[in-house]
Amino acid sequence: MWVIKWILGALLVILIIGFAMSNTQESVTVSFLQWQTQVLPLWVVMYLSFAGGIVFWLVISIFQIISLKNENRRCRKDLKRYRQELDRLRNISVEESVLPPEPEPEPEPEIAEGEVKNEPVEE
């Protein structure tokens, strides 16, 4: 794969040099608002425009990389928190988490000596 990248890079450089050599006679003047340049060869203007675009792309990319790193850091923090919660939930027994606690039976009242326990009569 790296060989293909080198070949494409070399072809691009050859095309750029060929463009510069074929446009040595062309000259232009660049005007922007009140500002105006001297007469410059066309290839210089093209290369300066290209370099300006690369610098602009670099600045935008730096802000995008910083934004992506912040998002990545936040996602890693969330992932760590979710893993801790999952581990905590795995350690809870089924009886504690799913089944409600069983009610304790009510103790029978104590019968004092001489008292008779009233039991319902079945007929």
83 CB burial (10 A radius; 0-12, 13-18, 19+): exposed
- Length of the chain equals 123
Rounded to the nearest 10°, the torsion over CA 34, 38, 43, 47 is -50
For the chain, the average pLDDT equals 81
Model confidence over 71-115: pLDDT tens digits? 999 999 999 999 999 888 887 766 555 566 677 777 776 766 666
- 121: CB partners within 8 A, 6+ apart: none
- Local structure of 78: helix, strand or coil: helix
Q: Does the pTM exceed 0.75?
A: no
What pLDDT does 100 receive? Answer: 63
What pLDDT does 72 receive? Answer: 97
Average pLDDT over residues 3-17: 84
| Cα 53 from Cα 47, distance rounded (Å) | 10
Q: Which two tokens stand for residue 29?
A: 């003047």
Q: Residue 24 gets which letter from DSSP? A: S
Return the amino acid letter for 44: V
What pLDDT does 70 receive? Answer: 96
Of 59 and 117, more confident: 59
What pLDDT does 115 receive? Answer: 64
Q: Of 16-25, 80-89, 112-121, where does mean pLDDT reach its minimum?
A: 112-121
What pLDDT does 94 receive? Answer: 60
| Cα 44 from Cα 46, distance rounded (Å) | 5
- 26: CB partners within 8 A, 6+ apart: 41, 42, 43
Q: Which two tokens stand for residue 3?
A: 């060989």
